[in-house]
Amino acid sequence: MSRPAEAELIKAAIAASEMAYIPYSNYRVGAALLTLDGDVFTGCNVESASYTPTICAERTALVKAISEGKREFSAVAVVTRDGGSPCGVCRQLLYEFSPSMIVVMADLEGAVHQRATLADLLPFGFGPANLQD
């Protein structure tokens, strides 16, 4: 992915983070998921008072994309106040569709902290191939 394309993906993730519903953690997260055909789906984290139903930004973006028929992804930008990485649940769900996708971790000002493939973030990941005979 080119640096200008990466910058646009981060910009979309930052914009998505502004919609986060975070009354408990105050930890704003935005994600922008890029499909192989160039579409971008965004998401933010949405918290719940009972905690368990809380959904992360990455999964919000992925669910939006899947609900629109998209199944192949090349990259995701995740933004947080400190450039944090996707949680384990998000890594697992993203791995289901695109283990080789690039994960760009940036802060809310757009500074990139890390880049890695999803497979690097989830070594020995479990996916659909594990369930085949």
Q: Which residues are catalytic?
A: 58
Tokens 């996708």 — which residue?
Answer: 101
